[in-house]
Amino acid sequence: SPSLKQAEIQALLDGCLLTDDELEGFRKELNEQIEMEAALRFREGDKVVCRCEEWESGTVVKVGYREADWPVEQPDAPYQVQLDNGGLIWVPDDDDAFVRAA
């Protein structure tokens, strides 16, 4: 099998590195996520009731939930909840109008 030359290896490794701007953007996103999660009332595993057509009980399975096809400008949902009836929903706002402690 052919061996890679040092220059080829260096080029491959360099392609994996972040630029300073990319790293700063990543840090900013991570800090925003940490701040958002710290401000929320519930954590993964917490039992909650959510307003659907009626109040449904469930468990928080994700804090800071986002659908892949949401526009960039749409903020993350505070929670994804697995309902006891089998449904999987996201909560639009961390407010008693939508989600409460069980």
Tokens representing 63 are: 């804090």
**Do 101 and 65 sit in the same domain of this protein?**
yes
One domain, residues 34 and 46:
no
Shared domain for 15 and 46, answered yes or no, is no
Q: Where are the beta strands (DSSP E) in 22-71?
A: 47-51, 55-65
More confident residue, 24 or 96: 96
Are 35 and 54 in a shared domain?
Answer: no
Give the pLDDT confidence of 37-96 residue by residue, as tens digits.
778 999 999 999 999 999 999 999 999 999 999 998 888 999 999 999 999 999 999 999
Looking at the structure, tell me whether residues 20 and 56 fall in a common domain. Answer: no
Of the two residues 19 and 37, the one the predictor is more confident about is 19
Residue 98 sits in the same domain as residue 50: yes
- Domain check: are 33 and 46 in the same one? no
Give me the CATH number covering residue 65: 2.30.30.140
In this structure, the answer to whether residues 34 and 48 fall within a common structural domain is: no
Whole domain around residue 50: which residue ranges? 42-102
pLDDT value of position 68: 93
pTM: 0.68
**Residues 81, 65: Cα–Cα separation, whole Å:** 10
Instruction: Tell me the β-bridge partners of 48.
Output: 58, 101
Q: Which residue has the tokens 């993964």?
A: 44
Q: How many domains does the chain have?
A: 2
pLDDT, residue 18, reads 84
Name which residue leads in pLDDT, 94 or 9.
94
Overall average pLDDT of the 13-26 stretch: 85
What is residue 66's predicted lDDT score, i.e. its pLDDT? Answer: 92
Q: Do residues 34 and 64 share a domain?
A: no
Give CA–CA dist 31/25, Å, rounded. 10
Same domain membership, residue 94 and residue 54: yes
Helix (H, G, I), strand (E, B) or coil at 50: strand
The pLDDT value recorded for residue 33 is: 75
